[in-house]
Structure 1
Amino acid sequence: MDTSLQSTNDRAERALAALAEKPEGVIEQIAAQADVSPADVLSVLPAGAAVLVPAARWDAVWKDMTGWGEILLIVHTDDIVLEVNGALVDGSEGHGWFNIHGDSPIGGHIRKDRCVNIAFVDRGFHGRRSCSVWFMNGDGKAMFKVFVRRDKDRALIEDQVLRFEALRVAAAF
């Protein structure tokens, strides 16, 4: 067997084993336990739980999400899980960055060219449905994630769920 295929199979087996232990756990923690990337874990989720679309869909995906209202943006690294509530605003490209500035606490500069695909993730998380859009880099990690918000009763905001589901279908084509 080709060593790269063997390596891919080995990563998938480790990801599946770690996922079996915590099927609704934090993807990054499952990946660390299995010594694989978060992308490896997303790839072994049940069918439809992680739908990948090409990074070329960035502009359309971002533009649609600017109409979702207040979302939860998460940046998860080995050192921090940063959570910011706010609306996404239009971005512009300049000097090699995707720049976001506007009337929102979410702002900054993103190396858009490092995005290799966008994952629409719809899975259980600690007993509840969770819907998010992950902008993935070539290292198999999420650059950042945009989550459908929850209301005061911890239920997903239905309008955002509908927009997430529609965008997932539209972006795949």
Structure 2
Amino acid sequence: MSAALSPSLDEAETRRTRAMAALGEKPDGVVEAIAATAAVTPAEILALLPAGAATQAPEAAFEAIWAAMTGWGEVLFIVHTDDIVLEAEGSLPAGSEGHGWFNIHGDSPIGGHIRKENCAGITFVDRAFHGRRSCSVWFMNRKGAAMFKLFVKRDAARELIAEQLARFEALRDSYA
């Protein structure tokens, strides 16, 4: 980042203070809402979570993580913007690169084309969400927001599906 775009130490500390205050008010709330309250990015909120709650993987791991998750069964795929929270349930299809995109296709409601080059890293998030444990994988863009998120599903009793949770933990732990 150029010096003109990089925040001063005072500004960075002010952002951190605002983020910590907003997170303290609603520690199990929607990360994007907490970030908006503090006028920071979701990545800045994730960076403040307690040890083990947000595990980082490099952008180079995109395809390996995607491929590992294709065996998880049905997941919850979420795209969260200022205008919509789009949720799709289905198995994650395999993907391949072509024409500048990471193309996903198969027999699933989850399909399309991802601008993989915009992925700055992947974050495994394991935290309380409205009082319940929630586990997800966030593909983060260079602006500090989630391109999309994949969540471990819940069963009929609203508990995380044990087999999927074990796969999440093993994949996350491989990057810890």
**TM-score class normalised by the smaller sequence:** over 0.9
Contact 1:99 1:110 in 2 (8 A): yes
Residue 158 (str. 1) matches residue 162 (str. 2): yes
Q: Which residue of 1 aligns with 2:71?
A: 67
Which residue is equivalent to 1:4?
8
2: CA distance, partners of 1:42 / 1:114: 19
| Partners of 1:57 and 1:171 within 8 A in 2 | no
How far has the Cα of 1:22 moved from its partner?
0.4
Matches within 5 A, 1:130-145: 130-145=134-149
Letter in 2 for 1:164: F
User: Residue type of the partner of 1:92?
Assistant: S
Q: Segments of 4+ in structure 1 off by > 4 A? A: none
TM-score under structure 2 length normalisation: 0.95
Distance (Å, rounded) in 2 between the aligned partners of 1:104 and 1:81: 19
State the Cα distance separating 1:3 from its structure 2 match.
Answer: 5.5
Residue 3 (structure 2) aligns with: none
| 1:103 matched to 2:107 | yes
Q: Determine the C-alpha separation between the residues in 2 that align with 1:138 and 1:119.
A: 13
The aligned residue for residue 35 of structure 2 is: 31
Write the distance in 2 (CA, Å) between the matches of 1:8 and 1:71.
Answer: 36
Unaligned runs of 5+ in 1: none
Q: Percent same amino acid among aligned pairs?
A: 65
State the secondary structure of the residue aligned to 1:47.
coil
Gap regions ≥5 residues in structure 2: 1-5
TM-score, scaled relative to structure 1: 0.96
Q: CA deviation at 1:4?
A: 2.4
**Number of the residue aligned with 1:91:** 95
Count of aligned pairs between the two proteins: 171
Cα shift readout 1:35-78 (whole Å, capped 9, x = no counterpart): 00000100111111111110101111001000000000000000
1:54 matched to which residue of 2?
A: 58
Report the aligned-residue RMSD. Answer: 1.1
Which residue matches 1:79? 83
